[in-house]
Structure 1
Amino acid sequence: MDKVRLGLIGGGPEAFIGQVHRYAAFMDNQYQLVCGVFSRDQQKNHEAGEQLLDNSSRAYSSIHELIEKESALPEAQRVEVIAIVTPNISHFEFASAAIQAGIHVFCEKPATFTLAQSRQLQQQLEQSPVLFGLAHTYIGYPLVQEARQRVIAGELGDIKKVVVEYSQDWLAAKLNNQDSKQGSWRLDPNMAGVSCCVGDIGVHAANLAEFICDMPITRILADLASVEDNRQLDDDAAILVRFKNNARGVLIASQISVGEENNLSIRVYGSKAGLHWQQQQPNSLRIMPGDQPAQEIRTGFDYLSDEAKRFTRTPAGHPEGYIEAFANLYSAFADAVKRARTHSVKHSNANGVPGITEALAGMQFIESSVKSSQSGNQWLALDTFDPGSNK
């Protein structure tokens, strides 16, 4: 198989999310890891190169050295995609440099440190054939795709109400995680940006709601808090939302809800029916018609939409989860990169993978949530971005 040549920025062997990206990229045998900048600590960077690369000399000291030396290689050997899995502060610098060098980018969310930087990336991409993918993992689940298709088909009728929740407990003080490596940078405004909880998980919840409902959030009223003492950024959020059709919504995001693991769930209520999906039980989708018994939709059956089938890997009754969902995005991005080798494509044509449109929407959601909360919980209007523009 002609694999896509991948470079990793950040995500050395000890990094949780870096390991997840590697698992996802390698699952379908579509990528070969050829180079990287795995750590700012050059000893750790060298050790990671020895462990992860066939040629450890391609473990570079910086993104700039990577671009310079990879660009000097024959086209058939040089890196094609870089995956950015560093703290938020460096996303824009690395993505911008890669785009300028003509290298495709797959980036952790949020895409940038500020909305202004996301707009700069958009301008760069408009002038470039480079593809840009964003790691909104949860739309990679088959039944999230199915939920969206049932909304689009009108099975729920007019959307009236959306309740989306993403609750965790790993930043609760009683769990003694405040000083962990993962927690420390996410709670540091110089590394994470204006928000911890909303920027880390609230933006996932917003993206999931916009994707399934096939329409953007247009207004929000946010109440963010640092529930635990001595934190500069939020660890808990409650946000009222309005969608393009004026549907009402509630978004809950929390990293201090003791007892919660990774509780991402969504309920969508229309004029004809409702639906319910939970990330911790991802192979089931509950459809709730107003005049019939509720139905449980399961993965692996022929009655599912083509979109859900495309992201389904195993027969019914064989559970699929987070890594598989992530791998679905990586594989879809690889297909787009391979197509771009021989065809002219635009940045918004990344085979359904979230991209710069979702990056803009996400950064605006984060910054507006903070602004709404700090201004006394005022309603704020958002620019509308078409959530389907990256098909």
Structure 2
Amino acid sequence: MVAGYDRSLGWVMRHRRLTLLSLLVTVVVNIALYVVVPKTFLPQQDTGQLMGFVRGDDGLSFSVMQPKMETFRLSILADPAVESVAGFIGGSGGTNNAFMIVRLKPISERKLSAEKVVERLRKNMPHVPGGRLFLAPDQDLQLGGGREQTSSQYQYIVQSADLGSLRLWYPKIVAALKSVPELTAIDAREGRGAQQVTLVVNRDTAKRLGIDMNMVTAVLNNAYSQRQVSTIYDSLNQYKVVMEVNPKYAQDPVTLEQVQVITADGQRVPLSSIAHYERSLANDRVSHDGQFAAENISFDLAEGASLDKATVAIERAIAAIGLPSDIISKMAGTANAFASTQKSQPWMILGALLAVYLVLGILYESYIHPLTILSTLPSAGVGALLTIYVLGSEFSLISLLGLFLLIGVVKKNAIMMI
């Protein structure tokens, strides 16, 4: 080994210009590999757990969402890699949203990664009218959009001070993102609003018949609002007693024609004699991010796609539709954190190299000798980046930390060799 090192050192000393040129070429190759290697924020984990999100049409009630949730749950349980499924309906997202936690069997039994299980579940998922299921592997570190429950790992947020403008451009942005091949499982609010019934009362007719508006409000409250009227207590629990019509009579507004109100003299009068109802659509909520009205779009990456390539494709697709100045669209959550780190990563690497140079300069009391030691780093960098590229991995924040460790190890070995 010593003899081989002696011969190689002699060859290098005889071909100094070629050696210097190879160093410069290695630096260029490092830069080229850094540009080419796929990048992401954090590597994908297999925690043995999936997160599921069921989005129903706007305005769906708990009783309507429950059978949809059960259909999805049974379909997931039928997969041989799934051990258990738990979930709930409602929460901050409203009763038309549901959340699931899918526990997978140990990797030794299922033989597939969590990502592959998600792909199989997506292919076998039944079509449920009025409901969509989104699945993603659960991660230990999640950076959500901070506004509401998210159905996928990455988020894109659209903001505007003008709600009307937001409603106009939001579907166009969703359509643009759906055209990006690097994205999959795109979740966006697509409904035109929740169905609602407006009861229009002819107050003149009601007054002529001796019907007070408070009476109309009380009758509707007793019939449809599940008003609590009492509480039953036993030794272990307590139960709320609510007043309502039979649920089968609350499924269609036509039943309003069967409701009766009581006049001042005690007579019963059909509600339809003083009022009529009108069907319409209305947004059941307006989401905000900061001080602006906002809508969230969640997405996952298609198989083989990296976050940096997807980010570039998204920016290109959004630029093509020409958003007005009052519409703000940007990455959120993990995707936003990735965009921020992407800009600072090269400077962090240069900063680490500069810090090493300063420390070595102080130790050797020289401006030249530290460069001799640092000249061993480019070849190590090529090896590291080439390994990531060949194995089909992605350069992540963890890879960056590993690169810093590699700089320290190579520097130590170079000092020992010199």
> What is the TM-score normalised by the length of structure 2?
0.19
User: Per chain length, whose mean CA-contact separation is higher, i.e. which structure has more relative contact order (CA < 8 Å, sep 6+)?
Assistant: 2
Larger radius of gyration: 2
TM-score by length of 1: 0.20
Q: Which has the higher helix share?
A: 2
